[in-house]
Structure 1
Amino acid sequence: MAGLFAGIGGIETGLRRAAGDQMETVMLCESWTPAQQVLEAHFPDVELQPDVASLSCLPERLDLVAAGFPCTDLSQAGRTAGIRGAQSGLVAHLFDVLRLADQRGDRLPWLLIENVPNMLTLDRGEAMAYLVKELGHLGYRWAYRVVDSRFTGVPQRRRRVLLLASRTEDPRAVLFADDTPGLDESSLRDDAFGFYWTEGRGGLGWARDATPTFKGGSTVGIPSPPAVWLPSSEPGRKIVVPCVEDGEALQGFDRGWTAAADLGRRNGPRWKLVGNAVTVGVAQWVGERILTPGVFDGESIPWIRKGGWPTAAWGDGDAVWKVELTEFPRLEPYTHLLELLDVDNARPLSHRAANGFWSRLQEGNLGRHSGFRADIAEHVEVASTATLPPPPGRE
């Protein structure tokens, strides 16, 4: 396989876990230096190209190309400039190198694309329309599905679109063969709640027994991790921020995965690297199904574009069919948030951050879960009268 827009190798790591020696990564392409440092640490013998815009060709005889292209212009947390934006528009180079591979007679069996669900609705779904149009020109049948990373057992509510395409294989047998009724919310615990402390007016990203989606940026302009409310903890420790190693684990990586990019400061690049990554278990599921396809026998409903796209669909030529599926193809054993979170190494949310969040929270009607607002107010008071000692180690 080759990985374009490789980030820190989430897709490649997941496929490697699924396929073992059957999957060899022969080329990676990534432009950001900190991400390159991580890739060099974990894929030391793999060719690393520095820029997809200058990539002249793909390696020969590939079985799969993965492209988790930038969501910067597509996500609600980003600029929402759309598929023509400076960053998300880089996906055009993917189709350029695929056409070049065609010209030399090297036809690719599988193409895997990953991005945010907002691409289905932004600009009336223009991003997805562009992708499937390009795939149609190349003769691919395609299928896509929105999935929630919690199906892999990690306590992070992270919704992503997986788009799989092939000329010779049926992508529906990979993406649609598995489905469950979804996560049983009654099985979740009430001892930890994740939320965005950078919000307060328009949203909280509220997540019971989980964190909301990790993001590469935030409304305060920095790649900030969510906070976690621990109702039963002592005052001053009820509102904490996970350490970056927790973030790595919540994305399915080994702890310390991004250490090669550590600059030794709190606002270094590691959280942005983690926030932009693909959850490893999601890619692992795709890899397992590519190796052992299932059977899709569900109903397909002809669909004509009138705006945003459905959460699951497939297409062949100019025709598109909608499919009714949940965002939980499987239900791996769930890791409760406090089973994963290193509470002792999680720093309390600072007074400045907590006070700003509390001010925004009081301007709206959000955060009404029993006890939450009282604990935020308490945390602001405690943090204002005492220096909350950081936990051992650094973020």
Structure 2
Amino acid sequence: MFVLDLFSGIGGFSLGLMAANYDDYDFSLYPHEQKSKSDDYFKTAAFCEIDAHAKKVLAKNFKGIPIFSDVTALDKRALNEKGIDSIDIITGGFPCQDLSVAGKRAGFEGERSILFKEILRIADETKAKYILFENSEQLITNKRLFSVFAQELRAYGYGYRAFLFRASDFGYPHQRKRAFVIAYSTSQRRAIWDKADFSKFAIKNQFKGQKCALLNGVCERVSNLRKKGSITPCDIRDIRGDNGISEAVERVKQYGNSLIPAIPCYLGKIIKSVERAIS
């Protein structure tokens, strides 16, 4: 299944779906170090990301995959020009500042969260089978917001299943509660999704003790800064490097804006099971 990764950041969605290609993906290792073999079920066809630093990370870790910059200018023609004729899944961790309790709570009409409608426009043009959304927990816990969100999905012909996950559900030592929604094209998929049994996809502590290899890179970076004496231990500003030269700020910003890859891995395994049931 070909994936169009919108609002890509450093590629957390694509890494997670790629991990779903393996029977037993170890997030403490890089993809080329995996012991099991990929079935290549999910393949990222293109990214769309506006941040210059994040684009450099994507270009380094996902070599050869096209990277678009402006989601408002991205359409089927632009994809075709890059040789991309088919999109099955669109992922979108669209900006959450207008939904989050930490933001101005402008809702879907805010200048950032209105980009949600760009995802639906592109999904409609490409006839995507699935859309995977990630956002602030407010997306589904705020009844007013979720009502608008669900209404828009139905208007474009998509059913949905919503999830509220914590990083700790996957064995990580922090909460990071986030909303995830799988939107699926209706018709035969609706019947299967309505009866889908997610219990066989165990998630509790499935990844306990594992650390994402990319996260290890951040820890090493901070450790090196400490050795140089540029930051002091137990300083709440350690990672930000608030010493006049913020060496790590861009790197940490990207992790803060990213997601736990184990979650889209879990969702990808469910999608794979449903699609195989259809075929």
TM-score, structure 1 normalization: 0.50
Question: Pick from 151, 174, 178: which aligns with 2:169?
Answer: 151
Please report how far the alpha carbon of residue 292 of structure 1 lies from its aligned counterpart in structure 2 after TM superposition: 2.4
Q: Which shows bigger deviation, 33-42 or 161-170?
A: 161-170
Match of 2:227 in 1: none
Structure 2 residues not aligned, in runs of 5+: 22-37, 206-231
Cα 1:243–1:173 change in 2 (3 A) is farther
The answer on whether the counterparts of 1:145 and 1:175 sit within 8 Å (CA) in structure 2 is: no
Q: Which residue of 2 aligns with 1:44?
A: 63
Distance apart, 1:126 and its partner CA = 3.4
1:25 corresponding residue in structure 2 = 44
By percentage of residues, which structure has more helix? 2
1:61 matched to which residue of 2? 86
Of the three residues 138, 150, 166, the one matched with 1:118 is 138
Rounded to whole Å, the distance in 2 between the matches of 1:175 and 1:127 is 27
Task: Specify which of 280, 294, 298 is matched with residue 261 of structure 2.
Answer: 280
What is residue 99 of structure 2 aligned with on the other side? 74
User: How does 1:144-223 map onto structure 2 within 5 Å?
Assistant: 144-167=162-185, 168-169=188-189, 170-171=192-193, 176-177=198-199
Cα pair 2:201 2:266 within 8 Å, conserved: no
Matches within 5 A, 1:1-395: 1-19=3-21, 20=38, 21-57=40-76, 59-101=84-126, 107-122=127-142, 125-167=143-185, 168-169=188-189, 170-171=192-193, 176-177=198-199, 243=239, 265-266=246-247, 268-293=249-274
Q: Specify whether residues 121 and 286 from structure 1 end up closer, same or farther in structure 2 by C-alpha distance, changes over 3 A only.
A: closer
- How many angstroms apart in 2 are the aligned matches of 1:56 and 1:37? 23
Deviation at 1:129, TM superposition (A): 2.0
The residue type paired with residue 135 of structure 2 is N
Alignment correspondent of 1:252: none
**CA 1:120 to 1:288, structure 2 compared with 1: closer, same or farther past 3 Å?**
closer
Q: Which runs of 5+ in 1 are unaligned?
A: 102-106, 184-235, 245-263, 295-395
Cα drift, residue 118 of structure 1 = 1.6
Q: Secondary structure at the match of 1:292?
A: helix
Q: CA deviation at 1:289?
A: 1.7
Does the 8 Å CA contact 2:131/2:182 hold for their aligned counterparts?
yes
Following TM superposition, the consecutive aligned residue runs of length 4 or more in structure 1 with deviations greater than 3 angstroms are 170-183, 236-244
TM-score scaled to structure 2, two decimals? 0.69
Please give the per-residue CA displacement for 1:177-203, whole angstroms capped at 9, x wherever unaligned: 4588978xxxxxxxxxxxxxxxxxxxx
Q: Any conservation in 2 of the 1:18–1:284 contact (CA below 8 Å)?
A: yes
